[in-house]
Amino acid sequence: MIARRTLLTTTLHWAGASAVLLVLPAPLRRAWAMPSGQEATAFVRQTAQRLTAVVNGSMSIAEKRRAMAQIIDSAVDVDGVGTFCLGRFWRAATPDQQKAYLGLFHEVLVTSITGHLGEYSGVKVTVGRATPSGDTQHVASVVERPNNAPADVEWVISDTSGSPKIVDVIAEGTSLRLTQRSDYASFLSQHGNNVAALISAMRQQVAQNG
């Protein structure tokens, strides 16, 4: 079984989020463009508003899950995140395995996030300033939940095809994309570096969380 640390240790960390990039190794590097600090901050603020509106809204759980899935699809570079998290094994996978993996990665991300919506009622996100870092902007924020200590969260934003996307979330100093990549690498090392084994485990994870 894959370690239960998902791309999202909290709903808002990845949903506002999912996903990937600080500096990619050369074989995985893509043509990321850096948005302006103002653009990145506005994007994170808008995304956070959408997230909190869903989490704190009066919709049914099913409606909230559908709405959250739409936010993830529009705000997070899911394919880029997934490719990064598979690391060097991406190139070793067949085209069919790559396709299956990315589809399951999306499902794992969505179900991991939407499965914890009830835990974040009353959440508040305060967005701070953006700081450029390499080809990305790191937008600071503080996430507050009732009866929990405030959490410092950085949203890492990149601009692909002129559209800002969340490419990583750093929660209390921990990069979620790097954590997920480490989890997958550990799983694969224990299963003969067999990508098919990871895909099978991800299918089981989706079935259990679905």
Q: Decide: 200 and 169 in contact? Cβ < 8 Å.
A: no
Quick one: pLDDT at residue 13?
Answer: 41
Number of other CB atoms surrounding residue 147 within 10 Å: 5
162 closest CA partner among 37, 72, 35, 41: 35
What pLDDT, on a 0 to 100 scale, did the predictor assign at position 32? Answer: 45
The whole-angstrom separation of Cα 156 and Cα 144 is: 19
Residue 161: what pLDDT?
Answer: 52
Mean pLDDT per block of 10 residues along the chain (210 residues) reads 41 36 31 73 96 92 90 92 95 97 93 81 94 93 93 91 86 94 97 97 87
What pLDDT shows up at residue 18?
36
* Rounded CA Rg of the chain: 16
Residues 6+ away with beta carbon under 8 Å from 159: 32, 33, 34, 35, 39, 165
For domain 11-209, the CATH superfamily is Tgt2/MlaC (3.10.450.710)
What pLDDT is attached to residue 46?
Answer: 96
Using a cut of 0.85, tell me whether the model's pTM lies above it: no
